[in-house]
Amino acid sequence: MKRITLILTGTFIAAWFAWPGTAFAQAKKNDDQYFPEPQSDEDMRVIESQKNMLSSGVQYGGWITPVIIYQEAPENKLATSVSTVRLWLKTYLWNDSYLYVRGKDTYTAVISQKGAARTKNKNVADLDLGFIAMATKRRDVDFTVGRKYFLLGQGLVLDGRGDGAEFNYYSKYINIKALASWTGWLVKDDNPYGLSDRDIATGAKRLFAGGRLSTQWFNQTLYAFGLAQFDYGEERYKTGQQLLSVLVGSDFGLRYYSQRTRYQSQYYGAGIEGIIWSGLSYAGEFIMERGKSYLSGYTSTREIVAYAGIFKLNYYINVLLKPVVMLQYGFGSGDVNREDYRLPNGNLWGKDRGFLYFGTFVGGYALRPYLANMHVISASVAFSPFSWSNMWYVKNMTVILKYLYYMKYKTISPINYGLDATRPYRDIGHGVDVALRWLIFSDLSFFVNYGLFIPGKAFGYYYDYYYGTITYSSKAYRHFMMGGFNISF
């Protein structure tokens, strides 16, 4: 059992699971009550080798992760403890094939809370992973079927669990990936794909189908991908006026609508990644979104015309403390008529230019922004303060410092759920993240994160003279703190 690999993987998973996914907006999105799925990031990535096929025998193990979380947003404070247990088994089936099964149980207990949003203790058990992996003898083809992680491109469009299959073909000149993933069989409290209230109540039922073509030359990889997302979720329910007409037996001659929330989208992307010279790597990706979404309050649809992009540059310097400097820029298009960037029907009129996605964008612990109607610029440095030491239990320590600056794509539109940055200014604000990763022993690690968000001009009171309305987004600082251990066996 590769204990070091397991503990690192468990630590990365735990670190991401400990990020509260907007617990103060539970009415709109659940995110496993607080947490999204383990997602990709430069300093916390779940790594699965596509060509590492078990040749014989059985392996098994598990890990336990206790975590304490504190988050402070305007007029809301929440402290929780989260304990996650995972047990896994990997066994040989036949030549170049294996079965991997992993279950998980997560218990969340509320320590203290203050604010309008009320949170309860919760226990969620689910099949985390369960798949069969196969490969040809030459390893030029592999196939996986079952519940697994599906990743496409840089992970912005799709990066998460699902039930389905993935096919990979490797050759000297071109690599081909094809995948299909269904989300409807995930436990509803462990399903991160919901957009509408009905999605969250019943569990999002989405089908993803797509693929990627890539080619390599001189340590560079050029790729293109496509992904179609089909929404099969329940969407019909009675609006307030329908309920009134049922109660009184008449609709008073007025026309009412059954609100529709089905969101059908397609994504087309291209990217390039590679190594410029020793220690200097980069990655860039551009995405175009098309499809149909329903207007807010109507049964008519409008065309989706949205865009997003990400660029990363990492430079490892082989000197004392082993520093790594990381720069990142990301943008997601916005819409002057959108009131919410996670609602499938948040568009009020015209073409829907708000970018919605089902993958990951890591844009700061405290603000936790959705990459829509936003530009995000970040610079970070990671270093090992005791890399010079001969004591390996302190040598394996990494400190990460990150600064982020946020700007609007469309100044008149808000961000996130529509309650943030409501003033028509481009300056959203600044973020600072600090993280510590410490592998103490091969089966014990410690991690801690802190995030601060400082609001900019887009936050505060705003009076709209045209509509005669007043909106307010709090200028209070936002804090996030998390710490925990990971114990493997």
**Alpha-carbon distance values, 299 to 8, 264, 290, 344 (Å):** 48, 14, 19, 13
State yes or no: pLDDT of 9 exceeds 80.
Answer: no
In this structure, are residues 118 and 88 in contact, taking their beta carbons and an 8 Å threshold? no
Which tokens hold the place of 89?
A: 């088994």
Mean pLDDT is lowest, of 43-57, 254-268, 296-310, for: 43-57
**Alpha-carbon distance values, 229 to 7, 80, 159, 180, 346 (Å):** 34, 34, 13, 10, 18
Mean pLDDT is lowest, of 38-47, 144-153, 203-212, for: 38-47
> Apex CA 224: angle with CA 220 and CA 225, to 5°?
135
Q: What is the pLDDT of residue 55?
A: 55
For range 361-381, the mean pLDDT: 95
Per-residue confidence band for 369, with pLDDT thresholds at 50, 70 and 90:
very high
State yes or no: pLDDT of 40 exceeds 70.
Answer: no
State yes or no: pLDDT of 453 exceeds 50.
Answer: yes
Q: What is the pLDDT of residue 250?
A: 40
Per-residue confidence band for 465, with pLDDT thresholds at 50, 70 and 90:
low
The predicted-structure confidence for 371-380, as pLDDT tens digits, reads as follows 999 999 999 9
Per-residue confidence band for 117, with pLDDT thresholds at 50, 70 and 90:
low
Which tokens hold the place of 397?
A: 């320590």
Other Cβ atoms closer than 10 A to 271: 21
State yes or no: pLDDT of 82 exceeds 80.
Answer: yes
**Alpha-carbon distance values, 326 to 68, 114, 397 (Å):** 28, 36, 18
- Taken in order 360, 362, 363, 368, the sign of the CA dihedral is positive
Rg (CA), the chain: 23
Q: What is the rounded distance in angstroms from the CA atom of residue 405 to the CA atom of residue 166?
A: 37
> First and final CA of the chain: distance in angstroms?
10
Top-confidence residue, 234 or 273:
273
Per-residue confidence band for 28, with pLDDT thresholds at 50, 70 and 90:
very low
Task: Of 96, 168, 170, 87, give the one whose Cα is nearest residue 130.
Answer: 87
The predicted-structure confidence for 203-228, as pLDDT tens digits, reads as follows 899 999 999 999 999 889 999 999 99
Per-residue confidence band for 138, with pLDDT thresholds at 50, 70 and 90:
confident
For range 136-162, the mean pLDDT: 94
State yes or no: pLDDT of 30 exceeds 80.
Answer: no
In this structure, are residues 396 and 438 in contact, taking their beta carbons and an 8 Å threshold? yes
Top-confidence residue, 467 or 250:
467
State yes or no: pLDDT of 435 exceeds 60.
Answer: yes
Q: Are strands 397-408 and 374-383 parallel, antiparallel or unpaired?
A: antiparallel
Q: What is the pLDDT of residue 56?
A: 61
Per-residue confidence band for 258, with pLDDT thresholds at 50, 70 and 90:
low
> Apex CA 354: angle with CA 352 and CA 355, to 5°?
125
Query: By percentage, how much of the chain surpasses pLDDT 70?
Result: 82
Q: What is the pLDDT of residue 235?
A: 67
Phi, psi of 137 (to 5 degrees): -60, -35
pTM of structure = 0.83
Q: What is the residue-wise DSSP string for 346-378?
A: -B-SSSB-----BS-----TTT---SSSEEEEE
Q: What is the rounded distance in angstroms from the CA atom of residue 266 to the CA atom of residue 209?
A: 10
Q: What is the rounded distance in angstroms from the CA atom of residue 86 to the CA atom of residue 188?
A: 19
Range of the domain at 132: 3-488
State yes or no: pLDDT of 252 exceeds 80.
Answer: no
CATH of the domain at 282: 2.40.160.100
Q: What is the pLDDT of residue 394?
A: 84
How many structural domains does the chain have? 1
Q: What is the pLDDT of residue 395?
A: 87
For range 388-407, the mean pLDDT: 90
The predicted-structure confidence for 64-75, as pLDDT tens digits, reads as follows 999 999 999 888
For range 219-241, the mean pLDDT: 81
In this structure, are residues 305 and 267 in contact, taking their beta carbons and an 8 Å threshold? no
Q: Across all residues in the chain, what is the average pLDDT?
A: 83
State yes or no: pLDDT of 158 exceeds 80.
Answer: yes
**Alpha-carbon distance values, 247 to 258, 354, 419, 434 (Å):** 16, 37, 34, 56
Q: What is the pLDDT of residue 6?
A: 37
Which tokens hold the place of 342?
A: 């996670």
Q: What is the residue-wise DSSP string for 274-309?
A: EEEETTEEEEEEEEEEEEEEEPTTSS-EEEEEEEEE
In this structure, are residues 356 and 335 in contact, taking their beta carbons and an 8 Å threshold? no
Q: What is the rounded distance in angstroms from the CA atom of residue 332 to the CA atom of residue 209?
A: 22
Phi, psi of 246 (to 5 degrees): -70, -40
